Amino acid sequence: MQKMKTETPSDMKYIIGTVSFVFAALVLQIAMTDAKLVNMPDLIVRNITFLEYNMTLNNTNVTFVNVTTVVKNQGNEPARNSTTRLNRLNVTIDRFTPELLANQAYDFLDTYQCAVGHNYNATADVFNVVNESHEDNNKKTVFIDCVA
């Protein structure tokens, strides 16, 4: 009859120590990955605000809208020059966006005549020239009803 091998306390310390080391290495790897993401630019469309108003042109009441789009670098590193795309009523406007330092924002103003409700879309870094920590937060859409 064979005896069952039992682990001694020193064997258990070795196993626990090895598991602890592996766990600590994984935690360190995750922390280093997160640190890399934090030390990058991150462009977002912070907000899109608008003001609708009426004017009389040639004895006709016409609705206009002023749209302000704010693009912000919410990352911790500068974001190089890029392009912000504004899209409304089948009109696409690509606007130069200057280099934005960490937490710096830049405003775009768009004024136009508005006759029908529509979506207004803005996309920061539309051509993906800025290597960002989060590439999936560059878009925002609002609905403008064109009723002043």
pLDDT mean by block of 10 residues, the chain; 148 residues: 59 60 59 60 98 93 96 97 97 98 97 96 98 95 92
Burial degree of 104 (CB within 10 A; 0-12, 13-18, 19+): middle
pLDDT at 148: 72
Number of other CB atoms surrounding residue 51 within 10 Å = 11
- Answer whether 0.85 is exceeded by the pTM: no
pLDDT at 35: 43
pLDDT at 69: 98
pLDDT at 27: 57
pLDDT at 52: 96
